Structures are given as C-alpha cells and as structure tokens.
A and B are shown apart, each in its own frame.
Chain A
C-alpha cells in the first residue's frame, strides 16, 4: 500500500488551511494545548472510524438516504466519544464542553465520507479519515501551543516563561486567549502554508 498518497491532508490538502473546514472548533478549543490535542484525537478517531464503517456499508446504502445514514453513524460515534471522555477524561470533557457534541457538524467528517468513503474500499477509507483527522489535529496543536504560551506563559499546564521575565515587565497577552486571535493565527498559518506549497493560485 502506498502510504504517500494519504499524506496530502497533513500539508498541501490540509482540511483547515487549504479547504478551510472545521475552523469553528479550531477557534474554540485551542486556548490551551491539552484540550486541543484531546479534540484532535477525538476528531481523528471519529473521522477514521466513520469512514471505515460507511465504506463497509457503502454498497448497501440506498443513495436516496445516504446523508441520513452518514449522519446516524457519525452522530453515534460522536456520542460514544463524548461518553468515553466524560467517564475517563472528566476534566478535559468539561473544558471541551459542547464542542465534542459539535464534532457532528464538523464538515471534515461528512466531507470525507461523502467524497471518499462512499466510493472506496474500507482500508483506504480508514487511512483517508485518519490522515484528515491528523491534518486537522496538527493545526490545532500548533495554534493551541502558541495560544497557551502567549496567553498564560505555559505549555501543557507547565509554566515555561520564567518568573524573572515577569519581574522585568513581561505580561501575558489576554487577547490571545480569545477566539479572534485564534483566527489571526490560523490566517498566518494559511499564509505560511500557501507561500511554501506550489499549488496553483486561484
């Protein structure tokens, strides 16, 4: 199996930076690194499993109700994820609050199911979902890292910026902890990604 053809979502076909999907949750859950990573893992799991299940069922699904079937599968996976987080990662599930439930509305999931899983075999579909989730997660991790560092001087809840900085007048930037700065950061990432890749200009 050629793994290379699935790597697109990590950069040149990134769901957030190029397709500009899933931006809502990318703004909302990236104030700190930890919830961002957990959100990324949740979306990756749901995307990979959703693609796998739909691909397994693809020849039995009547085209007229395919969207309903896709929604049922994705919704079920999301509810399962939410329940598991509440049972085993209670603190993080509180931080993510409604955004776990809103994974259902994340366009990356339905997009990949509709565009890929319905027409491809289970294993390639699984990897397609997996790498799209990872591409999404990569952006979340970068944004979460920068925001937590600048907004609270810490990474993964560990203080990084030493007290001596604060003693000399360094201050945490409260603005970075708000969603508008996340949008600006994602904009900067889009810029960096576009200037580096050789995709055609629109």
Chain B
C-alpha cells in the first residue's frame, strides 16, 4: 500500500470538495428555473381543478396560460389570500388555500367556494407522504368530489365548516349538507383534513359572510 503524507491528504480532500461543490452549485443554478416552474404548474393545476377546470386547459404547460387568463389573487379585509377564478360558465369561484397536518406530514388543498359564499364548488387535496391506499386516498377525486354542493353555513347563518365524518355521514347526526365521509383506514389523515378545513376556512368566516350578503 502506498504511503500518503498528511499534506497530500489535506490537499486532496480540499480540492475534491471544492470541485464537487462547484459542480453541484452549477447544477442547482441551471435546474432551478425549471424546478420552480414545476412547482408553479402544480399549484396552478390544483387551483384550477378545484374551480372545475379539467382536460386540455390544465394539462402540462398550458395551465400557466389558462391561469393567467382566469385567475386573480385578491386579499380579504384581514389580509388573507383568496384566488378569484372565473369559471367556464362565466361566474366566479373563490379559491381558499388550505394547509394542515396529516399522519406523516403536511396535507394541503384548495377549496372552491361559489359566488354565494356558502356552496362548495369543488375541492382538491394533496399530501406529502400519507400511507398509499389509506390516507393518501384524500388526493383521489372520489374523496374531493364529495365536497361538491356542500354548504359552509347552516340555516341560521352560523359557520359550521365541512366535517369529515368517520363511519360515514349517513350514520351520524351531522347534516349531510355539512359533512363528507372520511377515508376508511385513514383516520388520522381524515381528522387532519377535518381540522384543516375548520381552521383555514374559519379564518375566512367574515369574508364569506360578506360574500353571502
């Protein structure tokens, strides 16, 4: 075995690390614009899907063009972000971003409230790493489609959010207008979505009330 001096070892490792660092920095700088665009496309797609768009208009890169044509970011009186989207039939949906906790990591989504400030026009959910087949099913349209037509306010005009009900809405005492069925085997994720809806939508209560009038 060859003998290497300490000086050689120090110089060797220093030079190696510098070369690797420069290469990685270059790669990161070159690829960053494309990565950011991917993230933008992802959230635009989710927002437009919640507003009821589908098919070609939101596939791949064309989503950016569609988004710029139909979506507008607005702030509520208490400085919360709402995305106002013109739907295909000419009315407006208000998209509220949701952020919450699942079982293994963050869950998030976008919920579209119709111009009456009460009826849900659509919803999209996503997650970082929920269990496939169980909690991960929240990203499935079968779950998010349940939200269509649900209402955020009860007959007395009180804010009730949308509950995610374990065991099914039909077997509970919750009005089917304000509840959806939870995911079987995904209790913690379902509870996370339930809490996320209550917390995030709750902050928009005043905005939604104003919209109702």
Contact = CB atoms under 8 A, between A and B. Distances in A.
Interface of A: 31-32, 59-65, 68-69, 72-73, 76, 79-80, 83-84, 86-88, 90, 97, 151-152, 172, 174, 177-178
A84 B185 contact: no
Interface SS of chain A: helix, strand, loop or mixed? helix
Interface residues of B, number: 28
Most buried by B among A62, A64, A83, A172: A62
Contact of A64 (B9, B38, B39, B41): B9
B141 interface: no
B58 to A, nearest CB: 14
A31 B16 contact: no
Contacts of A152: 133
B132 interface: yes
28 contacts: A32-B132, A59-B2, A60-B12, A61-B12, A62-B9, A62-B12, A63-B1, A63-B4, A64-B4, A65-B12, A72-B16, A72-B20, A73-B20, A79-B24, A80-B27, A83-B31, A83-B35, A86-B35, A87-B38, A90-B35, A97-B128, A151-B132, A152-B133, A172-B133, A174-B133, A177-B133, A178-B132, A178-B134
A21 B190 CA distance: 36
A69 B34 contact: no
A97 B13 CA distance: 30
